[in-house]
Amino acid sequence: MGKGLLIIAHGSRVEETKDIVTKVVEKIKSLKNTKDVKAGFMEFNEPDISTSIREFVEEGIYDIIAVPMFLFEGNHVLHDIPEVFGKEKEKYPGLKIKVCKVYRV
């Protein structure tokens, strides 16, 4: 299979912020004419990062490009997200995740 694109966002209790991320994912899907784009949230919203990775793996996609959509490289980007990726790589041998620099919105 091809590569998956995982857009990672913090998440919020304010529903409109999830809608923004969903619109970004849908726009990328339409531009790339692909379904292999998913969102994953750190907190408050679903799906979380692990769920999105599991869905990619279930679809046979083991090569993921992750794009953190954050304002800056804080604790989540520097520590929490890599920790999640490490756990997922232990669960799914052969899983490769390339993390892009933070995409500042």
Which residues are annotated as catalytic? 10
Structure-token pair, residue 58: 């279930």
- Amino acid at site 77: V
Q: What's the rounded Cα separation, in Å, for the pair 92 and 3?
A: 15
3-state secondary structure at position 98: strand
Q: How far apart are CA 102 and CA 74, in angstroms?
A: 10
Distance, first Cα to last Cα, the chain? 30
| Three-state DSSP state, 96 | strand
